[in-house]
Structure 1
């Protein structure tokens, strides 16, 4: 098996047909080139070059090896350069995922500024569902996601909180809670909460759909849906309640659902997250752009 420097020496000499120029291109001595070529010829078992005092030419075996090696070597080198560009350069395509129309509004605003700052990098906005957030990053469907925090997982890292919103409870319009001005976390023991898909992060699920009230009372859970719109359909049909962010009052107003504010729940926090092993310059640049853009965005009023 040939090593990289041996392949480079052979292919460069096959192109230059001159030991001195080959040594200059590879920034080594002509002696080193001669030694390397002799080593390759010993490995092949036949001369690769005819050497005279006047010129250097390829032997038939040398030409065959050059023709076989060159395309593969160029492909490997280009693949490596592509990887370097993806890791260090803000070029190519960045895919950003989101859950819900409110998050999409934020991502599009960030993307508009990002494209102005980095014209060589395009942004694709991808809608995700409740059951495929982590999987979408693991399979490369998206590079990063705008999601509600916390997102605690060994593979995931993220930037700071970009914005917050009050927490509300989506209840059927005919539910007794719908006539209240507010509800408390303790009230959740008296309702059936729709359960998030099993694909959700445990930290996310427990924070947003807890199993117990702050005093320790159990909160009944019933099967939910794989999509947010599916969850709202279940709420509207009277199958359960679902905790949400206050922006839903504007983006997802429905006649069969009432959003009741919590009076004791901390605000929901939103931020960008991505996989640690897939972090690139594109991701870092997009996250930095989001820090600049999001604080200046107007907060949507309640419906």
Structure 2
């Protein structure tokens, strides 16, 4: 079916005249003279093939054909205005869909503050939040299935294609069963954990963080004896609680409240785990730029 070409200026002129039912008043609203307005209406009537207005001395009125066209003309103008507004919002980074991967432990530190700041500045952006450990986030960024990654200890091997911005540096703490002899101390020397079994994240979940924890132990004179692996820190703490081992974790993990788990400062306390925002270097979309601009103004909550 052939679609008739109805220029928007003609539809606009028709709607305004239908509302005013007076050529002079309609011309003033449109900011044009009466003759051009009459020409626009005539051209539209030629397209329709029927008169849209009845013209009598001193008054005009909509014909049945005009009454039928009016709702569709209004919808067309409204839809176009809405479409233009939406396109401008997406083009400026004020609307659209942003896919964000995040490491679960970040929900205990920077994630709430970062998302709150962004939502306050860009309430019309739909956030697609996906919980992922560091290695899957890196893969998802390369595969373009997420736009932003919030992760721990990014690898320098990825810096050719990805950009990283550190948003927080956290110290490590010892995670102990509450009945562990060292739980009575305020600070634990790492060497004191040499004989304890460990519960750690598998290296595949976050190679850099896993190696960082292992190297901390090696620097203290021992290699951790891993008794159990767990992908999430909540699970690590639960396994420590039941006595399967001890662990080293970012300080923000202390916000996981388990009665049977004690968190203690460690010595030496010189190493920090980095929390970073990651994005593709060649991704210049407005939404990514908006997110980076928003978080640059945020002051992340520090772990207790």
The residue aligned with 2:297 is 292
Instruction: Mark the CA change 1:256 to 1:275 in structure 2 (over 3 Å): closer, same or farther.
Output: farther
Of 172-181 and 213-222, more deviation after overlay is shown by 213-222
The offset of 1:290, in angstroms, is 1.1
Please say if residues 192 and 222 of structure 1, whose CA atoms lie closer than 8 Å, have aligned partners that are also in contact: yes
Q: 3-state DSSP class of the match of 1:142?
A: coil
- Alignment match, 1:269: 274
Higher strand share: 2
Q: CA RMSD in A?
A: 3.4
Structure 2 partner of 1:164: 169
Question: What TM-score comes out, normalization by structure 2 length?
Answer: 0.59
| Pair 1:240 & 2:245 matched | yes
CA gap of 1:126–1:186, structure 2 versus 1, over 3 A, is same
Instruction: Please name the residue that 2:97 is paired with.
Output: 93
Residue pair 1:130, 1:226 contacting (<8 A) in 2 also: no
Residue 254 of structure 1: CA displacement? 0.6
**Long gaps (5+) in structure 1:** 1-14, 16-84
- Which of 146, 153, 156 is the equivalent residue of 1:149? 153
Aligned to 1:166, the other structure's residue is in SS state strand
Question: Structure 1 residue 89: deviation in Å?
Answer: 5.3
- Separation in 2 of the partners of 1:187 and 1:126? 38
Equivalent of residue 225 in structure 1, options 230, 233, 236: 230
When the two structures are superposed, what TM-score results if normalisation uses the length of structure 1?
0.59
CA 209–89 in structure 1, closer or farther in 2 if over 3 Å, else same:
farther
Distance between the aligned counterparts of 1:162 and 1:211, measured in 2? 22
Aligned residue pair count: 216
> Residue 243 of structure 1: CA displacement?
1.4
**1:199 is the counterpart of 2:195:** no
1:12-51 to structure 2, matched below 5 A, reads: none
2:279 and 2:263 mapped to 1: Cα distance? 31
Contact 1:158–1:273, Cα closer than 8 Å, also in 2: yes
Instruction: Report the alpha carbon displacement of residue 100 of structure 1 after superposing the two structures with TM.
Output: 3.1
Runs (5+) with no aligned partner, structure 2: 6-87
Question: Conserved in 1, the CA contact under 8 Å of 2:186 and 2:264?
Answer: yes
Contact 1:163 1:271 in 2 (8 A): yes
- 1:289 Cα offset (Å): 1.4
Larger Rg over CA atoms: 2
Contact 2:151 2:278 in 1 (8 A): yes
Give the whole-Å Cα distance in 1 for the aligned partners of 2:247 and 2:284: 33
Q: Distance in 1 between matches of 2:242 and 2:98?
A: 38
Q: Return closer, same or farther for 1:269/1:101 CA change in 2, 3 Å cut-off.
A: closer
Separation in 2, partners of 1:171, 1:130 = 25
The Cα shift of 1:292 comes to 0.6
**Structure 1 residues 227 and 133, CA, compared in 2 at 3 Å: closer, same or farther?**
farther
SS at match of 1:194: strand
- Judge conservation of contact 1:192–1:221 (CA < 8 Å) in 2: yes
Query: CA offsets, 1:177-215, max 9 Å, x none?
Result: 212211233334232222322422422220134384215
Q: Partners in 2 of 1:112 and 1:199 — Cα distance?
A: 30
